[in-house]
Structure formats: C-alpha cells, structure tokens
C-alpha cells in the first residue's frame, strides 16, 4: 500500500529497517557478534556523537570526511559536537577515557549508526551502519593476520566468503612512507597539468589521496607512478613477508593490491579490503588496517592498533533470500469471558519460546481469514464450553485438522506435532 502523497518522508540518505530488511540487518549483527566473541572480543558501545576534535584530529583537516562530510554542530552550551562518521576514533577515545591503556591488549567489537553527508546511492546512505573490531596494543604481523582472519570468518558465517576478494597491501613504516611520498609528490608535480582539478588540490594537501582517484586523467598516470615496493626498508619488508605467511597459516585466501592506500600518516604496514562485483560501484564491503598515533591524539600513550569496519547495509544486500520469521500461533478468545484465559494461554506459549498473538477484534470468520493469510501454523480457539472442561480447540492450519486438548497442555501438543 503506497503512502499518502502528503506523508512525511525520511530525510534524504536515511531509510527505515522493517520486515525482511530488518531481519537481514539483525542477522549480520548477531552473526558478527557471535564470531568475534569466539576470538575473544567484547562489545563496546560508544556515543553516536563526540567532541568534534575526536574526529578532526584523527581524520585530518584535509580529508574529505572532515572537510565535506561530517555532521557537526554547536550545542546549547557552545561545544562543537559531531555525529560519528566512523567507529575507530571513538574506540580509541574510550580506551583512554576508561583507563584501559595499562591492560593491553584490548579487543573491542562495535556496531551501530555512522553519519556522513554523501551522495546517496545503492548501499550508501547518510546514516549508515557498521560492524567493526579493533585490536589495541599489539605490534606483530601475526596479530594483523588473525584480525583479517576474523573478518573473513564473519563473512564465511554469513555465507559470503565465496563471492568476496580479500585484497591486501603494505604501507610500510613511517620511514618508508616518507620516502615514497616524496617520490610521489615529485612525480605528480612534474605532471600537474595532466592531473584533474581535484587531484591538483590534493597534491598540496594530501597527495596519497590521488591514488584513490577515479578520474580517467589521474588513472592514466598511476601505472607509471613510483611503486611503493621500491621504497620499503628491511623491517617493513620483513613485516610484509610475515603478514602474508601468517594469512596462509590462518587459511585466508588473498590477493595483493598495491593500489590500496591510506592518506593519513598514522596508518602503517597492513591495509586490506574485502571487495565484491555484486554491488556495482560500491565494491568494498569491509576494510581496515594498522594504525599508530590515534590513541596518543586522544591524550593517551602511543598504543598501536589494527581494526576493520564493514557496512551492514552492504553486507545485508549480499545475503541470500532469508526465511520469514517463524510462523506463529494465533490465540482466539470467543468473547469477553474468555479474554483472561486467552491471555494466560498466550503467556504460557511465549514462556516456552513460541510466538503467540492474541487475535480478538472482529467477527470470528474475518479473524480466521486474517490468521490463515498471515501464515500462522496453529490457532488456539477458546470457547466457553471448552473452557468449562479445562480444554481448548487446537487447529493445525497446515493440515486443516482440529483437536480438543487440555488448556495446560497446549504448548506440549504443539511441540509434539512439530516434531512428528
């Protein structure tokens, strides 16, 4: 049924989660929650808005998120607040705020809404939702591989691993990145006239972002750009080798993609993305990497971390058709005198883990028509005569069979029929 033409609509870039979409959403969250718990992760819930500095410091003033996409506002006390555009910064802030930097490592899982002012399209919203995980306080490539393996296990549990590619790259240490960045800047400056207007701006503020450009002019230059592998020092090469060896040990298939970059200096060594061909332009459904310095920017010590985040909406779009909710049981009182008994029967069924709905409005014939149309499996009819004997009528709507059963045995009878 279409909404009235004058009905208020959701704000652009937001959407309601109802019915099958809600079931898919919850399935992604509950599956991820279960899998990461097996890896020793506990769920952290941070506020959906933070002091703007939490994100402006960590994402950088020149990033597109800070300069174009954040929802920031001054509250009535004059404080600048921002709806969170991502989850990692809030987790790092919470680590410091709650005095957890002395008990490392910390393993955190999170899920919830994020907010970015972007152009909406399939799988991309202005209020979107993510699952994510952060491992704080480890420095070894083996740990990085286990974090990637955990993300892969989530996708396996969702039945999506076969259709995804795990792409990895190395960003090296700061020394390696500095040398590479200098070579890139020299390369692009010599060809500035061939760059797009946006990339010419990035050349002065955040040159690594040029590597993310989708502009045809820019892409034509990237094939000849200096390769990062030529600037890796010995320790960075060793870390990269150990990461790939560890992923093989964890049984995670991967491909190397040197185009995966992060534009901010605190990212280091490991970067990865899970991509698919099934969502059009929105190819990445989960991504992450190693970082240093974020905890320090929150006022804490220099604690390294590695993490990932996955878009719940995008992951949900990839799920196969999900079964509808389990068919329920309709409880039908035949009149006001049987309402109390109907309430007691419904509560007893619910206490046994069965879905039960009391259907008491309208004529009995109309009620039965609605119940059959709803897909309910059973109807429990409470009439005065049956109740006087301590019984009800139990109708199996699939088999169109009916029997009289004791009122205190309804749940047992339904369980017995279901297991027969």
Binding-site annotation: residue ranges for L-histidine: 86-88, 116, 130, 134, 262, 266-267
Could you tell me which of 270, 262, 287, 257 has the C-alpha nearest to residue 170?
A: 270
Burial of 150 (0-12, 13-18, 19+ CB in 10 A): buried
* C-alpha separations of 397 from 95, 262, 344, 345, 379 in Å: 55, 58, 22, 18, 7
- What is the dihedral sign for C-alpha 139, 141, 143, 147? positive
| 392 close to 374: Cβ distance less than 8 angstroms | no
- What is the dihedral sign for C-alpha 10, 52, 274, 282? positive
* C-alpha separations of 95 from 24, 49, 232, 267, 297 in Å: 31, 16, 31, 18, 12
Q: What is the largest CA-CA distance in the chain?
A: 94
Supply φ then ψ for residue 223, to 5 degrees. -60, -30
Q: How far is CA 166 from the centre of its chain?
A: 17
Binding site, annotated residues? 86-88, 116, 130, 134, 262, 266-267
Question: ∠113-284-208 over CA atoms, to 5°?
Answer: 100
DSSP codes, 222-281: HTTSPPGGGG--HHHHHHHHHHHHHHHHTT---EE-TT---SSTTEEEEEEEEE-STTTT
Tokens 């010995």 sit on residue: 234
* C-alpha separations of 356 from 330, 335, 342, 378, 408 in Å: 6, 18, 10, 9, 15
| 101 close to 295: Cβ distance less than 8 angstroms | yes
Q: Rounded to an integer, what distance in angstroms lies between the CA atom of residue 203 and that of residue 281?
A: 25
């Amino acid at each position: 049924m279409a909404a009235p033409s004058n009905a208020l609509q959701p704000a652009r870039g937001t959407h309601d989660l109802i019915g099958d979409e809600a079931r898919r959403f919850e399935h992604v969250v509950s599956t991820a929650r279960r899998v990461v718990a097996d890896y020793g992760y506990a769920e952290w819930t941070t506020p959906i808005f933070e002091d703007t500095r939490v994100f402006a410091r960590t994402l950088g003033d020149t990033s597109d998120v800070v300069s174009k996409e954040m929802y920031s506002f001054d509250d009535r006390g004059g404080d600048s607040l921002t709806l969170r555009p991502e989850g990692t910064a809030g987790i790092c802030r919470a680590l410091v705020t709650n005095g957890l930097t002395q008990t490392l490592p910390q393993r955190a899982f999170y899920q919830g809404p994020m907010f970015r002012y972007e152009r909406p399209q399939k799988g991309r919203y202005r209020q979107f939702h993510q699952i994510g995980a952060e491992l704080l306080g480890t420095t070894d490539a083996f740990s990085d591989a286990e974090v990637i393996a955990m993300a892969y296990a989530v996708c396996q549990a969702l039945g999506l691993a076969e259709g995804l590619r795990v792409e990895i790259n190395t960003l090296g240490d700061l020394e390696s990145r500095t040398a590479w960045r200098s070579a890139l800047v020299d390369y692009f400056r010599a060809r500035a006239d061939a760059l797009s207007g946006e990339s010419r701006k990035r050349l002065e503020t955040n040159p690594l972002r040029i590597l993310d450009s989708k502009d045809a002019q820019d892409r034509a230059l990237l094939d000849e750009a200096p390769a990062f592998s030529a600037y890796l020092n010995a320790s960075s090469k060793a870390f990269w080798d150990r990461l790939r060896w560890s992923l093989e040990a964890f049984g995670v298939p991967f491909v190397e993609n040197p185009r995966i970059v992060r534009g901010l200096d605190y990212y280091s060594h490991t970067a990865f993305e899970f991509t698919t061909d099934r969502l059009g332009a929105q190819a990445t459904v989960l991504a992450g990497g190693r970082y240093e310095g974020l905890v320090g920017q929150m006022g804490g010590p220099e604690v390294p971390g590695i993490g990932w985040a996955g878009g719940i909406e995008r992951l949900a779009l990839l799920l196969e058709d999900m079964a509808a909710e389990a068919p329920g049981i309709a409880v039908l009182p035949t009149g006001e005198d049987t309402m109390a008994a109907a309430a007691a029967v419904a509560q007893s069924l619910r206490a046994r883990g069965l879905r039960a709905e009391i259907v008491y409005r309208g004529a009995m014939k109309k009620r039965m028509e609605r119940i059959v149309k709803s897909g309910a499996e059973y109807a429990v009819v409470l009439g005065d005569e049956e109740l006087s004997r301590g019984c009800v009528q139990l109708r199996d709507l699939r088999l169109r069979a009916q029997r009289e059963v004791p009122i205190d045995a309804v749940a047992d009878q339904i369980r017995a029929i279901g297991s027969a």
